[in-house]
């Protein structure tokens, strides 16, 4: 058990280092601007008043380390700075976009885990059979497809040809739960890649586990098939899958940005894309820190879970 | 004993047939987008005059796009940037990852290994699309910039893989013998270790190329690294979305081509990399 504890400690340390690095990287971005950052950010409207306003808002006259310290301390207090475009606090942008994105992510993960494990176990039970080949081929094919291409094709079929579902979430505002029909296509598209990879991993893990000596031993004791499958074999398949689930965080994030753009959902992804288009650096930075820290924390959690289920596996620390 | 061998040979033959079938399927799926991407620009011809946007027929085989250009001509031109940027990014990623991973695996200086690998552990924490969007918000990268970014995102994972594979190879007695013989570092690193990790790299190249294609297309769809009216399948999907209900071909055709390209790549590599004997055979032999 002390092995696990020291592993967790080392992993936590890496997580802290990663968080600090994310914050530094995001901050370094404005420093990387060629020439005068304010002129560069003013872009298409380089009138002196706007340049002065940007310089004022980002406090570009002060030395770098002071700005970094201020910004980092602000982050600790939940103060993300103010937007260049509107002058509103960045925290407000994040609060506005948080609901829809959280809803999308929560629904996706809630469906992802049962579907991924269910299909994976199903395919492993019928290894080599028709069901297995069908599941394996479909997951292999869909695994690589970019969300936007799949999403646009689904819209063409289900909204344009069949007219079953609305093509976008335009006009529904942030209260998407009241309009479940508008959520079907986005969730379906968000699920496509993570489900495929999870199914493949669970299947591979289960096939290995079911062929292992300890499962054969459990069978010889005459334990019920279902009991062997779910209580003895499945935990062995969880470790690689938990790692992948963390990988999925990265994909979900990419997916959320694309899906929100595609279905016009007013979440964090849309806020981020708008800020990128307007070169609204403080908003981009704030969102990048939120997303980056979220990824670090979820990866950490997944590593610890994976370690817990497979204490002998050499999980990278 | 004989019965066992016969069934084993039978399943091996069936697996072989299935593998050939999957290979053929992969080739069939990828052929259309790949041929269009590589040879399309040759057959595209001169641009015709612009007409009304989102019309159907009228001499335009697939109608016109959001600024009144012929969609078929855009399709012929639009594959090359996707494929070339992805190939370039993939090659660049390995160009950096290989020396870094090899050096980290073969050095005996602990600090050098830490110096090479620790920054990558940190970089791996940043979501790939987020990093690309972050840079895009400050600079306006072109196609080359996008290839560099996608390569950068792929370096940490690839370098880790190279290091892991090379560490394993470098621990073999052969390497010790080569060193005792006084072979040069270069000959050991490239001649032996480099060659013995090629198989692992080949397996990784398939998944990596699929991931790179995904990122390049997605970034282009979000407007990173491309002109707003570029002839690029991903850009076509994005820009022609407004006319989806009037003129779906301008969206559906490039979207289908991207799906075929990515799916085909995945199927092809999966079939090509599967060992003919299957994985179980090897394990049994080892035991």
DSSP 3-state percent helix, strand, coil across chain A (nearest 5): 75, 0, 20
Phi first, then psi, for residue B262 (nearest 5°) are: -70, -45
Whether chain B has a CB inside 8 Å of the CB on A254: the answer is: yes
Partners of B57 in the beta sheet? B60
Closest CA in chain B for residue A39? B138
**Residue A45 CA to chain centroid, in angstroms?**
35
Q: Please give the residue range of the domain that contains residue B147.
A: 3-286
In whole angstroms, give the CA distance from residue B128 to residue B124: 8
pLDDT value of position A310: 60
Whether chain B has a CB inside 8 Å of the CB on A279: the answer is: yes
pLDDT at B195 over 50: yes
**For the residues of B95-140, what is the DSSP string, one character each?**
HHHHHHHHHHHH---HHHHHHHHHHHHHHTTS-HHHHHHHHHHHS-
Closest CA in chain B for residue A208? B280
**For the residues of A108-163, what is the DSSP string, one character each?**
HHHHHHHHHHHHHHHHHHTTTSHHHHHHHHHHHHHHT--HHHHHHHHIIIIIIIS-
pLDDT, averaged across chain B:
80
In whole angstroms, give the CA distance from residue B148 to residue B93: 8
Whether chain A has a CB inside 8 Å of the CB on B130: the answer is: yes
Contact list, B129 vs chain A (CB under 8 Å): 253-254, 257
Q: For A9-19, b where at least 16 C-beta lie within 10 A, e where not — what string?
A: eebeebbeebb
Q: How many residues does chain A have?
A: 317
Q: What is the CATH number of the domain that holds B100?
A: 1.10.3720.10
Nearest CB partner across the interface for A292, out of B125, B210, B218: B125
The pLDDT tens digits for A52-74 are 777 777 667 777 777 788 778 87
Q: Name the burial class of residue B51, with classes exposed (0-12), middle (13-18) and buried (19+) by CB atoms within 10 angstroms of its CB.
A: middle
The pLDDT tens digits for B263-281 are 888 888 888 776 554 444 3
The Cα of B262 is separated from the nearest Cα of chain A by a number of Å equal to: 6
Whether chain A has a CB inside 8 Å of the CB on B259: the answer is: yes
Dihedral angle sign, alpha carbons of residues A273, A278, A279, A281: negative
pLDDT value of position B91: 92
- Please give chain A's pLDDT, 317 residues, in tens: 557 788 888 888 888 888 888 888 888 876 766 656 666 666 666 677 777 777 777 667 777 777 788 778 878 877 777 777 777 888 888 888 888 888 888 888 889 888 988 888 888 888 777 888 888 888 888 888 888 888 888 888 888 778 787 777 776 666 667 777 778 888 889 988 888 888 888 888 888 777 777 778 888 887 777 777 777 777 777 766 776 676 677 778 888 888 888 888 888 888 888 888 887 888 888 888 888 888 888 878 877 777 776 645 443 33
Start-to-end CA span in chain B (Å): 18
pLDDT value of position B12: 67
The pLDDT tens digits for B121-161 are 777 777 888 888 888 877 778 888 889 989 988 888 888 88
Number of domains forming the structure of chain B: 1
Residue B275, number of CB atoms within 10 A of its CB: 10
Start-to-end CA span in chain A (Å): 16
Q: Choosing among B14, B78, B126, which should be mutated to test the A contact, i.e. which has the most A CBs within 10 A?
A: B126
Closest CA in chain A for residue B137? A276
Global confidence as pTM: 0.83
The Cα of A1 is separated from the nearest Cα of chain B by a number of Å equal to: 26
Whether chain A has a CB inside 8 Å of the CB on B241: the answer is: yes
Helix (H) or strand (E) holding B41: helix B2-44
pLDDT at B162 over 80: yes
Q: Is the CB of residue B167 less than 8 Å from the CB of residue B159? A: no
pLDDT band at B7 (very low <50, low <70, confident <90, very high): low
Lowest-confidence range among A78-87, B91-100, B219-228? Answer: A78-87
């Amino acid at each position: 058990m002390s092995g696990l504890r020291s592993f967790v400690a080392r992993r936590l340390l890496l997580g802290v280092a990663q968080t600090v690095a994310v914050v530094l990287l995001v901050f370094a971005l404005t420093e990387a601007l060629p020439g005068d950052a304010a002129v560069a950010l003013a872009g298409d409207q380089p009138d002196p008043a706007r340049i002065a306003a940007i310089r004022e808002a980002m406090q570009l006259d002060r030395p770098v380390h002071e700005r970094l310290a201020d910004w980092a301390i602000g982050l600790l207090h939940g103060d993300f700075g103010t937007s260049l475009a509107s002058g509103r606090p960045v925290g407000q942008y994040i609060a506005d976009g948080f609901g829809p994105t959280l809803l999308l992510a929560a629904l996706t993960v809630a469906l992802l885990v049962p579907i991924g494990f269910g299909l994976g176990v199903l395919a492993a039970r019928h290894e080599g059979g028709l069901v297995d080949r069908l599941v394996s081929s479909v997951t292999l094919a869909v695994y690589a497809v970019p969300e936007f291409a799949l999403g646009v094709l689904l819209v063409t079929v289900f909204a344009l040809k069949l007219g079953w579902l609305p093509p976008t979430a335009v006009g529904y505002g942030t209260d998407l739960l009241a309009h479940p029909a508008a959520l079907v296509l986005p969730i379906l598209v968000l699920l496509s890649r993570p489900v495929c990879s999870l199914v493949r991993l669970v299947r591979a893990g289960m096939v290995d586990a079911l062929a292992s000596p300890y499962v054969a031993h459990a069978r010889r004791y005459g334990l019920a098939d279902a009991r062997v499958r779910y209580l003895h074999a499945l935990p062995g398949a969880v470790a690689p899958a938990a790692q992948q689930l963390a990988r999925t965080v990265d994909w979900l994030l990419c997916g959320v940005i694309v899906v929100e753009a595609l279905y016009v959902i007013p979440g964090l992804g849309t806020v981020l894309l708008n800020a990128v288009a307007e070169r609204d650096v403080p908003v981009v930075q704030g969102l990048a820190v939120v997303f980056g820290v979220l990824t670090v924390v979820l990866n950490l959690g997944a590593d610890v879970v994976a370690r817990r289920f497979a204490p002998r596996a050499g999980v990278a620390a | 004993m004989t019965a066992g061998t016969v069934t084993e040979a039978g399943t091996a033959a069936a697996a072989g047939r299935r593998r050939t079938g999957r290979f053929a399927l992969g080739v069939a799926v990828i052929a259309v987008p790949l041929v269009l991407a590589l040879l399309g620009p040759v057959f595209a011809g001169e641009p015709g005059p612009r007409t009304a946007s989102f019309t159907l027929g009228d001499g335009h085989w697939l109608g016109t796009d959001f600024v009144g250009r012929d969609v078929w001509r855009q399709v012929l031109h639009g594959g090359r940037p996707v494929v070339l940027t992805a190939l370039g990014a993939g090659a660049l990623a390995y160009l950096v990852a290989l020396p870094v991973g090899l050096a980290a695996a073969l050095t005996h200086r602990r600090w050098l290994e830490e110096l090479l690998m620790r920054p990558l552990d940190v970089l791996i924490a940043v979501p790939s699309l987020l990093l690309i969007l972050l840079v895009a918000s400050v600079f306006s990268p072109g196609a080359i910039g996008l290839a560099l970014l996608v390569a950068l995102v792929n370096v940490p994972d690839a370098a880790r893989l190279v290091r892991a594979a090379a560490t394993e190879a470098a621990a073999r007695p052969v390497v010790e013998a080569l060193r005792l013989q006084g072979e040069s570092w270069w000959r050991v690193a490239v001649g032996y270790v480099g060659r013995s990790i090629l198989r692992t790299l080949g397996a990784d190249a398939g998944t990596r190329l699929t991931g790179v294609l995904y990122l390049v297309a997605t970034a282009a769809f979000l407007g990173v690294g491309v002109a707003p009216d570029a002839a690029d399948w991903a850009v076509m999907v994005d820009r022609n979305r407004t006319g989806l209900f009037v003129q779906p071909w301008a969206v559906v055709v490039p979207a289908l081509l991207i799906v075929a390209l990515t799916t085909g790549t995945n199927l092809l590599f999966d079939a090509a990399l599967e060992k003919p004997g299957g994985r179980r055979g090897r394990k049994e032999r080892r035991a």
